[in-house]
Structure 1
Amino acid sequence: MGKTKELSKDVRDKTVDLHKARMGYKTIGKQLGEKETTVGAIIRKWKKHKVTINRPRSGAPRKISPRGVSMIMRKVRDQPRTTREELVNDLKAAGTTVTKKTIGNTLRRNGLKSCSARKVPLLKKAHVQARLKFANEHLNDSEKAWEKWLSAVLKLTQALRKKDYENRRLVSHRLSIMDGVI
């Protein structure tokens, strides 16, 4: 199969103008540098539809308008934990009925693939309570004690980054003595 390309609107309009001037397909093709069959196709299309612009391609039109897409993207950007169900309800309120799958396809088309809202918050109540308890216990500690604790935590995280066995043994040892650091 040969190369296919769309001709510019100017070339198509010139083709039609030359046809109106009673020139033949072969003459028009030589003058514009196009094939005779291409010229014939342009003129047949003009005779049938009275326009030289490209007709829309086949396929279903988009369910979500460009404004709807920008609304979805803005909401997801502002509130990353928004679910597809909430976005469906927002669009339904705006007058567009779509499915969760359509929302997911739209997000993927706009660069948000493999994204899903978190099902649980990062900090659970137990974590918050533990942090508050730790903070209250060490509320009146001196700055030197905090620096000592911070250096121990930094050494611990550095040891966790290394993968050799010796450091992993040190980590468990440091964890056991870390309670007595402060």
Structure 2
Amino acid sequence: MICTEFICIVRNQPRTTWEELVNDMKRAGTTVSKVTVGRTLSHHGFKSRIAQKVPLLKSSHVQAHLKFANDHLDGPEEAWEKVMWSDETKIELFGLNFTRRVWRKKKEELHPKNTIPTVKHGGGNIMLSGCFSAKGTGRLHCIKERMNGAMYCEILSNNLLPSVRALKLGRGWVFQHDNDPKHTARITKEWLCKKHIKVLEWPSQSTDLNPIENL
């Protein structure tokens, strides 16, 4: 009975702590120790792990992601070799990274109950802009000022285009960037059009679809 209750609690509320499990059982009239809790859950494949942080998705985001996947499902793998992936990343200089532990089994790290939704925000950090393709990495640029559309175009001109030439992507290459307001600004769209750069349509709040997330 105790085992069944443990499993039920962590399945429905994986963020439950050791203390909460012990107290829940105590209120139900059963006294158990943390050791018993840990041993029981471990026996059934559960282990306390750090919850994965994922973008907060709306229903429209989910549908857009599904459409993107279906649109490219049957495409040739060689087509991805012509894509120049890009992104900006923030590196925290100070402060603690927020973590939360959850009870889960192996390969359940991306189940909604086992993740922590996140939104983008500012802080003490440095910003980097980079790109890469199947042929290698491109230039890495340190963004020292608050970036706007005009600055983004300058970064693309000074870093993206030389990277494309250095990696010898040739004709027909495709540029990927997300839907950050600076990327979708009028000045950016006009610059990309003027340079005849084909842009890969990208769903909002992409859940790490961009392989640059692994660099």
Q: Give your verdict on TM over 0.5.
A: no
TM interval, shorter chain, is 0.3 to 0.5
Structure label with greater radius of gyration = 1
**Structure with higher strand content:** 2
User: What TM-score comes out, normalization by structure 1 length?
Assistant: 0.34
TM superposition score normalised by structure 2: 0.30
- Structure whose residues are more often helix by fraction: 1
